[in-house]
Each structure stands twice: as structure tokens, then as C-alpha cells.
């Protein structure tokens, strides 16, 4: 990219919206002045309506009718945040693309710092949460556990306490758009493409309005998705567990034979037999479940359905 363009990029902000009517107004109140104050050739805010059931779409359309910088990508239904984020990145036209949550927990004021790092030559600028006190204790601990387990099992390390909020050069975005998988774990995909990366830190704020759309169950499934997307280690673990149990059973069988030869017929052992049967049944079901998780991913990928479907794009054209 030419040096002049590296200093004055066209910026694309990508923000998924799902039932964010309460926070929507505040988002544009904060984002507009921030972008107007940075040195750039221009900017756009790509808002992806991910099948909202409230009046988020109507409000987004109203904003796009008044502001030529705002484009609204309306998906045909709720496809989930990962698909909505993909849709926004695909639609972005900027030299740099910055995904951000609409709840403003990630401060837009950090964009200027990101651009400074990008101007120095960074292809990716990660925004790392230096303080997550705005999140609950359980959420913080489970997040730490997820990063530890994922990075131990996977060949690709996901930076800890780094969400979707980041700056990506156009070369990085073009690389992401080449990845064909349908079941997408964006944090892993961001890390997989690599490129020259630097990190800036910030303090995570509380939501300006509304409530998080991720329940504990959704976060659990999200973690499973992340681990199985970038590692086959769970399958190997079940193999090792099966081997250990088989060796233990063989050793126990030898013990029973020797005990019988020395002391005669042993007591019936009904309770211990039931425990062993239930334990083995549980291990087998867990193993089948892990295999099923991977087979399910193959099944979904083999269908080759689109990641998302765009119903309509709303934007106001520049005045002639």
C-alpha cells in the first residue's frame, strides 16, 4: 500500500446488531464524532442486522437515510454473531476494517491508537482487555479456563482477553475471505491468518444499555465450537483414555485370577460390577459424543450452504 494511503486510509467499521434498540442511539452518538476526528480519506459504518426482533432495523434504516456513512446489511434471519461478523467483513470496502460490538464495551476512542500502530506498519492491531472487572467473576474465570484449554490443545494460540475488536489491514481481510468453512469461530480464524500483529490495551467498560445475548449455555457451546474448530486433540485424548482403561482392566483381571488361585472364590462383587459398567458406559458415551461433534462438523460443511443470506442493503447515496 502506498505510504500516503497508509497514513490516510478509508476506514470500515463493522458492527453486528441483534436486538440492540436500546444501545443503538448511543452507539452512533459516540462513533460519529470519533471517526470524524481521525485523519482518514473517509469512513463507513457497516451495520449488520442479524435478524433483530425489536425495532433495531427500523432505527438503523432511519440512521442510514440521514447519514451517507452508514450502510445497513439486513440478513434474512438470525444467523448468529459469527455469521453476522462475516457478512460485515465481506461487505466492508475500507483499507482497514475494524469490527466492534454495538454495546460500546469496547471504546471507540481506541481507534485512533490502532490507526497509529497501523501507520507504523502493523497489519493487525489487537485490542486487549487489561481489566475485565465489568464482567462477572464466573465469566472471568471461565474465560481464563477456555483460553488455557484451547491454547494447550490447539496448534493456533488465541490471544487471551482479546475479542473481535481489532484493526485489520485490507490484505488480512482478503485472506480471511478466502477461508471457506461454514461453522466459523472468528477468533480462531483471525489468529490463523497471522500477519504482523501488535497489541494495545484498554479497560473494558460496562454495557451502555441492554443485556448480553450470550447466556452461560451459549458460551459453553461457543467454547466447544472453538476447541473442535482448531484441534483434534479431544479425539486423541479419548484414544488414550480407552488405552489406559483397557490396561487397568487387564491388570485387574490378573489380580482377580491370582486372588482366586490363592484365596479361592471371592465375594460376588455386585456393587463394584455396577460401578465398572456405569463408568465404562459413561466413557463410551463421551467418546461417541466427541466423535459425533466432529462428524457433525463434517456433515454441516459438506452441505456447502452459504454462511448467511442478505435480504437487503440500505444506504443513502452521496449527493451529486
Residue 279 in any domain: the answer is yes
Same domain, 69 and 158: yes
> Does residue 139 share a domain with residue 244?
no
Answer yes or no: is 61 within a domain: yes
pLDDT averaged per 10 residues in sequence order, the chain, 320 residues: 64 88 83 83 88 86 86 88 88 89 83 86 84 60 65 68 84 87 79 83 64 53 60 68 70 71 62 67 73 74 81 72
Q: Do both 44 and 189 map to the same domain?
A: yes
Whether 65 and 25 map to the same domain: the answer is yes
Residue 46, classified by CB atoms within 10 Å of its CB into exposed (0-12), middle (13-18) or buried (19+), is buried
pLDDT at 105: 80
* CATH code at position 159: 3.90.550.10
Residues spanned by the domain of 76: 3-212+305-315
Mark whether 173 and 43 lie in a shared domain.
yes
194: left (phi over 0), alpha (psi -120 to 50) or beta: left
Helix 111-119 × helix 21-36 angle, to 10° = 40
pTM higher than 0.75:
no
Q: How far apart are CA 18 and CA 56, in angstroms?
A: 7
pLDDT in the model for residue 320: 39
Q: State the Cα–Cα distance between residues 196 and 277, nearest whole angstrom.
A: 53
Q: Do 178 and 299 share a structural domain?
A: no
Q: Are residues 179 and 276 in the same domain?
A: no
Quick one: pLDDT at residue 212? 52
Helix (H) or strand (E) holding 314: strand 310-315
Residue 218 domain-assigned? Answer: no
CA atoms within 13 A of residue 99's CA, in its CB half-sphere? 26
Same domain membership, residue 311 and residue 292: no
> What pLDDT is attached to residue 6?
63
The closest alpha carbon to 25, from 56, 1, 49, belongs to 56
- In a shared domain, residues 269 and 186: no
Q: Which stretches of 54-183 are assigned E, i.e. beta strand?
A: 70-75, 96-99, 124-131, 162-169
- 256 and 291 belong to one structural domain: yes
- Whether residue 118 is contained in a domain is answered as yes
Amino acid at each position: 500500500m502506498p505510504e500516503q494511503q497508509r497514513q490516510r486510509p478509508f476506514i470500515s467499521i463493522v458492527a453486528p446488531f441483534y436486538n440492540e434498540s436500546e444501545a443503538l442511539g448511543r452507539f452512533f452518538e459516540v462513533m460519529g464524532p470519533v471517526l470524524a476526528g481521525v485523519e482518514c480519506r473517509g469512513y463507513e459504518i457497516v451495520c449488520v442486522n442479524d435478524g433483530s426482533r425489536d425495532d433495531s432495523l427500523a432505527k438503523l434504516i432511519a440512521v442510514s437515510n440521514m447519514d451517507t456513512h452508514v450502510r445497513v446489511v439486513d440478513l434474512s434471519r438470525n444467523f448468529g454473531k459469527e455469521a453476522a461478523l462475516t457478512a460485515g467483513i465481506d461487505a466492508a470496502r475500507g483499507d482497514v476494517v475494524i469490527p466492534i460490538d454495538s454495546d460500546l464495551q469496547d471504546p471507540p476512542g481506541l481507534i485512533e491508537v490502532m490507526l497509529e500502530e497501523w501507520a507504523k506498519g502493523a497489519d493487525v492491531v489487537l485490542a486487549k482487555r487489561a481489566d475485565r472487572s465489568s464482567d462477572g467473576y464466573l465469566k472471568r474465570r471461565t474465560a481464563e479456563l477456555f483460553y488455557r484449554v484451547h491454547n494447550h490443545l490447539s496448534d493456533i494460540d488465541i490471544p487471551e482477553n482479546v475479542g473481535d475488536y481489532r484493526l485489520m489491514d485490507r490484505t488480512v481481510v482478503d485472506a480471511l475471505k478466502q477461508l471457506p468453512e461454514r461453522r466459523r469461530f472468528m477468533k480462531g480464524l483471525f489468529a490463523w491468518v497471522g500477519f504482523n500483529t501488535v497489541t494495545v490495551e484498554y479497560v473494558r467498560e460496562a454495557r451502555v444499555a441492554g443485556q448480553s445475548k450470550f447466556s452461560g449455555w451459549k458460551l459453553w457451546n461457543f467454547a466447544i465450537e472453538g476447541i473442535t474448530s482448531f484441534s483434534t486433540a479431544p479425539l486423541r485424548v479419548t484414544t488414550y483414555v480407552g488405552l489406559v482403561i483397557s490396561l487397568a482392566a487387564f491388570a485387574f483381571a490378573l489380580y482377580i485370577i491370582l486372588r482366586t488361585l490363592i484365596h479361592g472364590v471371592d465375594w460376588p462383587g455386585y456393587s463394584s460390577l455396577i460401578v465398572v459398567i456405569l463408568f465404562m458406559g459413561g466413557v463410551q458415551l463421551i467418546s461417541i459424543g466427541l466423535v459425533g461433534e466432529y462428524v457433525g462438523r463434517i456433515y454441516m460443511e459438506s452441505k456447502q450452504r452459504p454462511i448467511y443470506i442478505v435480504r437487503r442493503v440500505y444506504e443513502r447515496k452521496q449527493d451529486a
